[in-house]
Amino acid sequence: MIVETTMLIVVLAIVFIWILLKFKEMRHKIFSIFLILLILFTYFSFTASLSGRNIDFTTTSGWGEAIGLYFSWLGNAFVNVKSITAYAIGANWNNVNTSGTAQNQTNSSSPANQTNSSFAWGKLK
């Protein structure tokens, strides 16, 4: 019941923002799309971060716990994105076999001929 009510409120907010900004100039359309995407992201990430937890939203301490869990989840998501980006930047993107000869392709597949180009997490240069 809470999910349906919350979803109804989110949909009404999206419709309200869309109608309000539709009357403005066309240059405000990008801003309205940004607001809609921000509302959708906040709603779905909030529900995903609190799924499986029994939080009482009728008390202020329940809301405080929910907000703390959400921002902790959001912070960890940004840390994960940062780690993935650092790994992608530090990967050896130049080590590509472009020769196309059959001999190089068969020899390069053996473990003895492969170089260890793995990236160590936390050892960024």
User: Is pLDDT of 109 > 60?
Assistant: no
Torsion angle of the four alpha carbons 77, 82, 87, 88, in this order, in degrees rounded to the nearest 10: 100
C-beta of residue 70 within 8 angstroms of C-beta of residue 46 = yes
Is the pTM for the entire model greater than 0.85? no
Backbone angles phi, psi at 78, to 5 degrees: -70, -35
Torsion angle of the four alpha carbons 88, 94, 95, 100, in this order, in degrees rounded to the nearest 10: 130
| pLDDT tens profile 72-99 | 999 999 999 999 999 999 888 886 666 6
d(CA 118, CA 109): 16
Q: What was the pLDDT predicted at 41?
A: 92
Instruction: Report the candidate in 62, 71, 64 with the shortest Cα–Cα distance to residue 2.
Output: 62
* Assigned token pair, 50: 């609190």
